[in-house]
Amino acid sequence: MELDKKIQHAIEHTKVLRSPEQNLATFGSTNIYYYLITELMDKVNVVREGRVIAAKPKIVTPSYLINLEGFSGQARRFIELMESQNPYAPGIFYAYKNEPREMNIVSEPLEQIINTINQQIDNQRDPLRAIIIGFEELWDVSLIKFTYELTSRSLHQNIAEFQQYGLLKVDEQGVPKHAREQIEELFKKVKDDPQHASELVAELKRWGLFTEYQDRFLNIFRK
């Protein structure tokens, strides 16, 4: 419970002072550079820099998610309930990677630090930079909150663009059109470089489509 209180405190004391000017891309990855400022002690602050890389959003269904690894027991139980009620309901899955860069301890007033970073961003004219005020002890929770808010802000646009191209439509096997297109992209990757074969096989199995595509897959390696 003590950890839960600290997490809640970190969430409540996280502020996004400057958000990226663009939303997460619908049809590609998004690379966001962040400055995360936390107070170490009176008049001493820590400035962390790094990148949050958002992979290209995927359209998934509960029946797909049930075959993904990495979920906690509670999260998996929730997915199982979704899968039992509406296994083919399409949704958007976002995946992120944090790449920390620099960490500097700065003995300057907070306002001065913020002004300096803002000026740097203005000079660089990079629309994908952000400034975050976080909580030192759980600074990564502050970063997660920023990522969550950015995802929420981007969701409506991403859904609208997927709908515009009919990619949310699900076929008779419960597979969205977008997933079929991604499978085709993976087949092209495997033809160019067989090292991607395991990635393709894993994706086909998550969708329950390996039997359907098995002959086509094996033909790539037949001479």
- Tell me the average pLDDT of the chain: 92
| pLDDT at residue number 203 | 96
CB of 29 closer than 8 Å to CB of 56 = yes
The stretch 122-144 carries a mean pLDDT of 94
The half-sphere exposure of 28 on its side-chain side, counting CA atoms within 13 A, is: 4
The stretch 201-219 carries a mean pLDDT of 95
- The span from the CA of 121 to the CA of 127, in Å, is 8
Triad 22, 23, 27: Cα angle to 5°: 110
Q: What is the pLDDT of residues 43-66, one digit of tens each?
A: 899 999 999 999 999 999 999 998
**DSSP alpha helices (H): ranges in the chain?**
2-12, 62-65, 73-85, 110-124, 139-164, 177-192, 197-206, 210-219
Q: Which residues of 31-42 are buried (b: 16+ CB within 10 A; e: fewer)?
A: ebbbbbbbeeee
Residue 132: burial class (beta carbons within 10 Å; 0-12, 13-18, 19+): buried
33's tokens: 């550079």
CB of 93 closer than 8 Å to CB of 82 = no
Q: Provide the pLDDT confidence category of residue 69 given band limits of 50, 70 and 90.
A: confident
42 has a pLDDT exceeding 50: yes
| pLDDT at residue number 1 | 44
